[in-house]
């Protein structure tokens, strides 16, 4: 997969079939669009092109809004490649770019520079200055600009249209299983293991600790049935997100206890997959009471993870 920063670098690509968006998290809705585009490109010997923007348009249009994302740029590119994209055009989103009229965007970007032959976008796609451009705008202009347009209906899961906004809301409420259903996979946060204060070990449940990744959506504080990816293996674990109020609130951390036994993970890069929220964060009267609750959490985690589809890299729960 090629990653380009300039429109002129797309010159000469065979039969460009284009889709546009931020593709945050690459959820089931995104995957449905990309599956159609990929099949069409295979039928016509065309090129699958994703047009996206950096920074996120809201960074320019509404800089006061605090943005949290479902994927970082590296993860997003890996997911796009996995989905069969041939070319990602990651355009700088500037005030000058945002000032383009819908007509200028269609004529100069989609037709002249990209040479689009077919365009696939969601039904609610908006573009151009003031978000004045709509699907109707595209359909009206496409014949004279030399491309066709297909508006894609949203994917619906459990009666709700899939969207990145909806997934963010689910994660921030702790509904990680519902978020996973819309993502098509568990939500994962990656980071480097840091030294903690050792309280988990004192309680009989040593943990690997990491700081929340900057700019990422963090599930609600609480305890989760989780898995830890280390190299090519998945280890079952109990994860905690919070500030440890039983010991006096501190910095918000992600902690995970491996059910298969302690490992020296300090300074290692790990990924934590969140499968189900077991409980909210709680304040306990004593460390002993907390340890008894962790034992319950471990038992619940084993039950949750036993219900997952088997994976050959997963370490035994026994």
Query: What integer best gives the mean pLDDT of the chain?
Result: 92
Q: What share of the chain in percent tops pLDDT 90? A: 81
Give the pLDDT of residue 312: 41
- The reported pLDDT for the residue numbered 165 is 95
- The whole-number pLDDT of residue 307 equals 87
Answer yes or no: pTM beyond 0.75. yes
pLDDT of amino acid 198: 76
Whether the pLDDT of residue 157 is over 70: the answer is yes
Does pLDDT of 200 surpass 50?
A: yes
Report pLDDT for 309. 64
pLDDT of residue 316: 46
Whether residue 261 has pLDDT greater than 60: yes
Beta bridge partners of residue 237, listed in sequence order: 226, 258
286-306 pLDDT tens trace: 989 999 999 999 999 999 999
Average pLDDT over residues 135-144: 97
CB atoms within 10 A of CB 186: 18
Calculate the alpha carbon distances from 44 to 9, 30, 48, 77, 130 in Å: 22, 21, 11, 24, 35
Max mean pLDDT among 59-63, 188-192, 260-264 falls in 188-192
Q: How confident is the model at residue 313 (pLDDT cuts 50, 70, 90)?
A: very low
Would you state the pLDDT for residue 310? Answer: 57
Model confidence over 63-90: pLDDT tens digits? 898 899 999 999 999 999 999 999 999 9
For the segment 172-189, the average pLDDT, to the nearest whole number, is 97
Q: 318 pLDDT exceeds 50?
A: no
Q: What is the mean pLDDT of residues 230-241?
A: 93
Q: Which domains does the chain have, with CATH numbers?
A: 2-153 (3.40.50.620), 187-306 (2.40.30.30)
- Looking at residue 195, its pLDDT comes to 87
């Amino acid at each position: 997969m090629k990653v380009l920063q300039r429109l002129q670098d797309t010159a000469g690509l065979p039969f460009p079939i284009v889709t546009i968006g931020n593709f945050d998290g690459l959820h089931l809705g995104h995957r449905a669009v990309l599956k159609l585009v990929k099949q069409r490109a295979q039928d016509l010997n065309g090129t699958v092109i994703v047009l996206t923007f950096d920074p996120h348009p809201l960074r320019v249009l509404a800089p006061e809004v605090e943005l949290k994302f479902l994927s970082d740029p590296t993860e997003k590119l890996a997911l796009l490649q996995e989905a069969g994209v041939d070319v990602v055009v990651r355009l700088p989103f500037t005030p000058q770019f945002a000032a383009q009229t819908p007509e200028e965007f269609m004529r100069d970007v989609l037709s002249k520079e990209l040479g689009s032959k077919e365009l696939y976008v969601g039904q609610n796609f908006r573009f151009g200055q003031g978000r004045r451009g709509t699907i109707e705008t595209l359909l009206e202009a496409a014949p004279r600009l030399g491309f066709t347009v297909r508006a894609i209906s949203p994917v619906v899961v459990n009666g709700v249209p899939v969207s990145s906004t909806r997934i963010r809301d689910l994660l921030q409420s702790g509904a990680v299983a519902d978020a996973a259903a819309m993502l098509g996979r568990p939500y994962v946060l990656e980071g480097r293991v840091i030294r903690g204060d050792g309280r988990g070990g004192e309680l009989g449940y040593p943990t690997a600790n990491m700081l929340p990744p900057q700019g990422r959506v963090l599930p609600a504080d609480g305890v989760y049935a989780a898995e830890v990816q280390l190299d090519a293996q998945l280890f079952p674990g109990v994860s905690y997100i919070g500030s440890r109020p039983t010991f006096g609130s501190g910095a918000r951390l992600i902690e995970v206890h491996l059910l298969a036994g302690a490992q020296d993970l300090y300074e290692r890069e790990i990924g934590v997959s969140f499968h189900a929220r077991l409980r909210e964060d709680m304040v306990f009267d004593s460390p002993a009471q907390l340890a008894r609750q962790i034992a319950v959490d471990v038992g619940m985690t084993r039950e949750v993870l036993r219900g997952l589809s088997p994976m050959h890299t997963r370490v035994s729960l026994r």
